[in-house]
Amino acid sequence: MTYFLKEDWCWRWGAVGIVREVLLVKGDRKEGRVSVLFDSGSARSLIKSEVARDFATPRDLPAPIEIMVADGHRISCKFYCNLIVEIEGKRVVIQPLLVDDLPAPLIFGALDMEAYRIKLDLAKRKLDLSEFTGYLLAL
């Protein structure tokens, strides 16, 4: 089953890009290297529930967030966690939703990529950090 996630309002335009990197991730319980999937087809950042519980304390969402997987079925997310991800020596904060079944331990979604100005170089299968500053872009 393919798990490229999207929300009802987030439509994919053009090719979906995916780049995998092994990065340092830190939570309030643990710090370690994790395989991170940068996925422009996933609106939100997501983390496997079991990985999240190792690294950070899960927190209740004020209201569940429903996401739809590519095959059309919906998953209701009730928890998130706070994580720091180190990219090129800079630490960025994300709040991924906890999901039980994912194709990677951590998915860095399009909204967080946009907020930190991280792009994907699909030809080289690498991150394009030409505009990345490590600072959250506040709109």
Residue 133 belongs to a domain: no
pLDDT at residue 137 greater than cutoff 60 = yes
Query: Is 84 a domain residue?
Result: yes
Residue 4 pLDDT: 42
- The reply to whether 112 falls in a domain is yes
Is 138 a domain residue? no
In a domain, 33, yes or no: yes
Q: Which domain holds residue 96?
A: 5-128
Mean pLDDT of 10-30: 76
Look at residue 139 and tell me if it is in a domain. no
User: Is 135 contained in some domain?
Assistant: no
pLDDT tens by residue, 73-122 = 789 999 999 999 999 999 999 999 999 888 899 999 999 999 999 999 98
CATH of the domain at 82: 2.40.70.10
pLDDT range class, residue 23, cuts 50, 70, 90 = very high
d(CA 36, CA 23): 7
Instruction: Return the beta strands (E) in the chain as ranges.
Output: 5-6, 18-26, 31-39, 46-48, 59-69, 74-80, 83-87, 90-94, 97-99, 106-109, 119-121, 126-128
Rounded Cα–Cα distance for residues 30 and 32 (Å): 7
